[in-house]
Structure 1
Amino acid sequence: MCIDANIDTKLTFKELITKSNALAMALIERGINKSDTILTFAENSIELAIVIMASVFLGTTLYPISPIANVYELEKLFETLDSLVVFTSQSKSNAMKTILNNHKSKAAVKSVFMVNGVFGNYITFDELLKEGHNKCLPQIPYFAVKDPRNETFVILQSSGTTGVPKSLLISNYSVVAYLHAMKSDIESDFHKNNIDGQPVFGHITPFGCVSGISSLLGYIFCGFSVVIFREYSEELILKSIEKYHVHILFITPAFGSALILGPFAGKYDLSSLRVIVSSGAAFTESVGKAIVNKYDVLLQEIYGMTEAGIITHMPYFNNGDEYMAGNLGQPNNNVEIKIRDTVTGESLGPGLGGEICVRGPMLFKGYLNNPLATSEAIDDEGWLHTGDIDSKNSLNTKRLPLKELIKYETIAVSPTEIELFLLTHKCVAEVAVVGVKHETQSQWVRAYVKVKDGMSVTEEELKQYVADNLNEAKQLRAGVVFVDHIPRTTIRKVDRRYFKQLIANELIKSQ
């Protein structure tokens, strides 16, 4: 069962199958092909879950986009794609209209449909369901998957460290491997916490990101009930845990802080919670310990990356255990781990400062239209090079310094992408973007800017320039600092080590 907490609406598995079948039939009659890609740009909803399952029934490729994506980013993305069948929502329809006014973007799109609401002459969701009503797919998937290891099931966006995010190709085979691993993980959670009967999950991340889409497919595959949220609201999430008796909650580090420090902490009965799972960044030591001890739950902080099939490691902290921030925990099912010396390439033992490499059936196929980047990510022996370094402190806690990425809540942001965008401003000569530690939201973005000679621009003007074009995670919340020069390495790259040292002791407090 899928429960939409915002409007208190429920969808049974029987209804999900019936409506997904009807939607798939409507799309077939409208001419969808095996080579088409169903692209979604909408907030979480029951209707969006139906679109995703219809794609599964059809055997077409799915490309879910995060609802926080902005026009600038989507225009760039659409220029790399073709033969798109787009589903968007009422709240995103104006953005989609703007995107389609760009002739390069419009050329990639075959048709646009609504998942909710009405906009212009776009076909509504209800109209599609009526078109496919009482019609039955002759086979599932409708378009046969003849080569599951190589045919693309879903395309997801990477965060990217060298500019605009890349499109990752995930095969049918990889998704099946992930689903079986997830089922094993969840059954282990049930055993550890004596959860009987039908568990209820709560999930707050959008289906347009890797944790959202993979978890949704997992809930459906395992036959579990899930409560979804159209938008982030601390009170609604807490209220829904009480109302729907949620057992397992997937959260962000920011919401973990809200469980302890937020204005609604203690207002609702959360006694049904048995497991809390977080991804994207580690909690602070104090928050992690407080969650484990206050709520008597199993706390899991998963580590992974989209290229690796989302989860590669998962630690377990029971009530009474000593919480260790940043602990990697055990390798996940279907995952091999190797620690590689970054100089010699030889294998090392754990905690010796080598690069973490992973291998297994869940790995992505490669980057769309980018074989060079693919070969740099996965070597000839099938090992994915994560770019993260394995180290340990005196307590043998493995820790992962992230590469160059900035983490806003659970969202990984490429500083290079923001730098490249800011360089399009007529007054900006050079720029370096960094992430400044924030008390509850992981990191906030800051730009160090050198202005062109004879030009002038204010901090607010640059903030507004970013606000008008880039998504919520990429806003310059930590401000703009004007400098006389940008330090660079010997090969003229921005010297990120210099800026990291500059802000090493800075912590932005919550207002």
Structure 2
Amino acid sequence: MPYIDACLESKWLTVGELIVSAQAVATALLDRGLTKQDLIVTFANNCVEHSVLVFAAILLGVTIYPIGPVANVHELKTLLPTLGPLALFTDRDKSVIVDKVLAYPDIKIQSKLTVMLDGLAREDTYVQFSELLAEGKGRELSQIPHFPVNPETDIYIMLQSSGTTGVPKSVRLSHRAFVANIYCNIYDRSHHLNPLIFSEITPFGSISGQFYLYTYLLIGGTFVMYSRMSEEAVLSSVNNVKLIMCGGAALPAEVSQKLIDACLESKWLTVGELIASAQAVATALLDRGLTKQDLIVTFANNCVEHSVLVFAAILLGVTIYPIGPVANVHELKTLLPTLGPLALFTDRDKSIIVDKVLAYPDIKIQSKLTVMLDGLGRKDTYVQFSELLAEGKDRELSKIPHFSVDPETDIYIMLQSSGTTGVPKSVLDSVARKHRFRMSEEAVLSSVNKYAYGMTEYAPITHFTSAERWNFIPGSAGQLSRNTEVKIVDTNTGNSLPANTEGQICVRGPKLFTGYLNVDATDDIDSEGWLRTGDIGHYDERHRLFITDRIKELIKWTTYQVSPTELELFLQTHPSVAEVAVIGVSHRTETQWPRAYVIRRPGYTTTAQELCQYVSDSVGFSKRLRAGVVFIDHIPRTNIGKVDRKYFKQLVANELLD
């Protein structure tokens, strides 16, 4: 059960060696004057030494503060002077930034020592981590933890968060809160995979990185980390250490005995039935003329038939293109004519859109057949999926895959992505990625996507889709995790709301943070211990949570709350709109009026009035663009690609409409 740095194959520790090393570092730090009041602060990439230090902090009973590796000089200059006495640990990459911060004469950081986790550094500035290991070699603490710890009040870890107000803060998590989180994570994961080899992508400077570090150790897994993160490093570790899970997303590893259709519980397949059905569909498609050059295109909701089709494509060795179910007529009109020869699969819900697209006389789609996955469709337009199953019943392909596949160059799947530019484009995912992972009847179904909702202040997960036993529907963040309470409250009155009614999400439980460092948290936690998350959402009759917006981004028109995200998504369905940002502009008597800032697609001359009318014709009265439309050339975005709403709020800060 080792810890492995996949970028440095010689660096790995068994759990026993991890504990011995942590003991050595802990005793050395005590010799160097570390006390209960001191912080252990890290600013480094994930590495074996970093993990040793984390466990040394536990053995000592002191607080650790891992700073995320994306920080820079400004963040460190602002944060470090506020932390009091500390020991600072960094690595070769991040020491460049640390050097700049330490060089500022007016920055007063109470650092007792500064340690280089990996490699060599200037002796006048840094202590080598190897020195600490040597100083404490063969020694053990007389008691664990060395300093007395009150689990209820003592802080185990501090982490950066923007909180519910968007202002960066230091979140303080007690030992009790962190252990409660680990308990939930272990309970959900410990019985799923054996043996478990987990790849850690998230940094130790995040709550996810911290709880993964503990969880997979405590359930007997092998923990793989990357001191130099890259796609190549992750892919190579799949082969080198037989990776099973990556960054919390399971790769094929264990049987999922049944596929459950979330809408129709009577629809289920064993793995054997899934493979037999996929064989039947594959042979039927060959009989109907499908070739290696044809695409299998799907535009449908998740269902059992859809999953059968996906595996039929794998058996055949042809490319599949699943179009997301949120697409509409415009998207299909734009995409389908560009794909070449294809077989199109849809369902009852989406066939309404498909019918509209197929009805356009000027749209040339090279479809060999159009198939209805569920229910009945017009026989002049659709083949029934049940017909394919009947035509191929009890038949098998002579070889798998039927068509020859070059794993390096042949394309397994195409998907839509906005990429780094925000412009939707097709992403090509080669079969090589698929075939590097073990695929078998026993291990083909556990690559189910998991979704979660949480925040650093709640260490961090409140909802998780695995708790639904595969009963997932699009948009759901899942059901409650253990040790957690949730309620939805009216944003004006604070009263609790029933199912399917939107309001602010509030959470409570033992995983809740203690408070912020040097910042009052009374606005975030009420007198009964409920954390106001700042998120808007609702739960349904099965207690599944849906997140729809942020309170601080909502536009208030008179007494109505208007979601800018909802309006943006709607406006993007207009063929002339390339990008859009919606903001509230202050109004003298009606609080705010929504306004849209729009980038037009090349070649379009759509007017502001036309777009306003487009919105008025289709959305609720409260959501009309009363402040109009402004055409611009560029929409500022944050470093994670979201609309920079702060910029637009500043843009309209001095406006007051009549």
Q: Is residue 488 of structure 1 aligned with residue 488 of structure 2? A: no
1:336 paired residue among 485, 488, 491: 485
Q: In structure 2, do the counterparts of structure 1 residues 256 and 297 end up closer, same or farther at CA, with 3 Å as the change threshold? A: farther
Q: Secondary structure at the match of 1:376?
A: coil
8 Å contact from structure 1 (residues 326, 397) kept in 2: no
Q: Any residues of structure 2 matched to 1:279-358 within 5 Å, and which?
A: 296-316=446-466, 324-358=473-507
Q: What is the CA deviation profile of residues 63-89 of structure 1, one whole-angstrom value per residue up to 9, with x for unaligned ones?
A: 001111101011101132110100000
Q: Secondary structure at the match of 1:357?
A: strand
Q: Secondary structure at the match of 1:377?
A: coil
2:182 aligned partner = 179
1:148 aligned partner = 151
1:139 paired residue among 124, 135, 143: 143
Alpha-carbon distance between aligned partners in 2 of 1:216 and 1:435, rounded to the nearest angstrom: 44
Q: What is the CA deviation profile of residues 203-253 of structure 1, one whole-angstrom value per residue up to 9, with x for unaligned ones?
A: 211111111012112223333211112243223212312332222322589
Q: In structure 2, do the counterparts of structure 1 residues 333 and 233 end up closer, same or farther at CA, with 3 Å as the change threshold? A: same
Q: In structure 2, do the counterparts of structure 1 residues 69 and 228 end up closer, same or farther at CA, with 3 Å as the change threshold? A: same
1:26 aligned partner = 28
8 Å contact from structure 2 (residues 505, 536) kept in 1: yes
1:91 aligned partner = 93
Indicate the RMSD between aligned Cα atoms, in angstroms. Answer: 3.9
Percent identity of paired positions between Structure 1 and Structure 2: 35
Q: CA deviation at 1:335?
A: 0.5
2:214 aligned partner = 217
Q: What is the CA deviation profile of residues 139-177 of structure 1, one whole-angstrom value per residue up to 9, with x for unaligned ones?
A: 1111111x2111100001112465651001100111111
Alpha-carbon distance between aligned partners in 1 of 2:647 and 2:157, rounded to the nearest angstrom: 42
* Unaligned segments of structure 1, at least 5 residues: 275-292, 407-433, 437-458, 467-472, 496-511
Q: Any residues of structure 2 matched to 1:308-457 within 5 Å, and which?
A: 308-316=458-466, 324-371=473-520, 374-391=521-538, 398-403=545-550
Alpha-carbon distance between aligned partners in 1 of 2:531 and 2:644, rounded to the nearest angstrom: 35
Q: Any residues of structure 2 matched to 1:73-152 within 5 Å, and which?
A: 73-103=75-105, 105-121=107-123, 122-145=126-149, 147-152=150-155
Q: In structure 2, do the counterparts of structure 1 residues 334 and 476 end up closer, same or farther at CA, with 3 Å as the change threshold? A: closer
Q: In structure 2, do the counterparts of structure 1 residues 264 and 14 end up closer, same or farther at CA, with 3 Å as the change threshold? A: farther
Q: CA deviation at 1:397?
A: 7.1
Q: Is residue 207 of structure 1 aligned with residue 210 of structure 2? A: no
Aligned residues: 403
TM-score between the two structures when normalised by the length of structure 2:
0.55
Alpha-carbon distance between aligned partners in 1 of 2:174 and 2:486, rounded to the nearest angstrom: 21
Letter in structure 1 aligned against 2:450: Q
8 Å contact from structure 2 (residues 472, 478) kept in 1: no
8 Å contact from structure 2 (residues 537, 549) kept in 1: no
Q: In structure 2, do the counterparts of structure 1 residues 331 and 47 end up closer, same or farther at CA, with 3 Å as the change threshold? A: same
Q: In structure 2, do the counterparts of structure 1 residues 435 and 118 end up closer, same or farther at CA, with 3 Å as the change threshold? A: farther
Question: Relative contact order, CA 8 A, sep 6+: which one is greater?
Answer: 1
Alpha-carbon distance between aligned partners in 1 of 2:21 and 2:201, rounded to the nearest angstrom: 24
Q: In structure 2, do the counterparts of structure 1 residues 404 and 338 end up closer, same or farther at CA, with 3 Å as the change threshold? A: closer
Q: In structure 2, do the counterparts of structure 1 residues 58 and 484 end up closer, same or farther at CA, with 3 Å as the change threshold? A: closer
Alpha-carbon distance between aligned partners in 2 of 1:109 and 1:364, rounded to the nearest angstrom: 26
* Unaligned segments of structure 2, at least 5 residues: 251-414, 420-425, 554-595, 599-632
Q: Secondary structure at the match of 1:126?
A: helix
Letter in structure 1 aligned against 2:461: I
Q: In structure 2, do the counterparts of structure 1 residues 396 and 363 end up closer, same or farther at CA, with 3 Å as the change threshold? A: closer
Segment of structure 1 superposing worse, 49-58 or 106-115: 106-115
Alpha-carbon distance between aligned partners in 2 of 1:475 and 1:271, rounded to the nearest angstrom: 29
Q: CA deviation at 1:120?
A: 1.2
Letter in structure 2 aligned against 1:234: E
Q: In structure 2, do the counterparts of structure 1 residues 381 and 397 end up closer, same or farther at CA, with 3 Å as the change threshold? A: closer
8 Å contact from structure 2 (residues 172, 517) kept in 1: yes
TM-score between the two structures when normalised by the length of structure 1:
0.70
2:169 paired residue among 166, 169, 187: 166
Q: In structure 2, do the counterparts of structure 1 residues 33 and 317 end up closer, same or farther at CA, with 3 Å as the change threshold? A: closer
8 Å contact from structure 1 (residues 113, 124) kept in 2: yes
8 Å contact from structure 1 (residues 358, 385) kept in 2: yes
Q: Is residue 474 of structure 1 aligned with residue 639 of structure 2? A: yes
1:3 aligned partner = 4
Q: Secondary structure at the match of 2:243?
A: coil
Alpha-carbon distance between aligned partners in 1 of 2:451 and 2:535, rounded to the nearest angstrom: 17
Q: CA deviation at 1:10?
A: 1.9
Q: Secondary structure at the match of 1:102?
A: coil
1:244 aligned partner = 241
Alpha-carbon distance between aligned partners in 2 of 1:357 and 1:308, rounded to the nearest angstrom: 11
Q: In structure 2, do the counterparts of structure 1 residues 484 and 352 end up closer, same or farther at CA, with 3 Å as the change threshold? A: closer
Q: CA deviation at 1:103?
A: 4.0
Letter in structure 1 aligned against 2:220: G
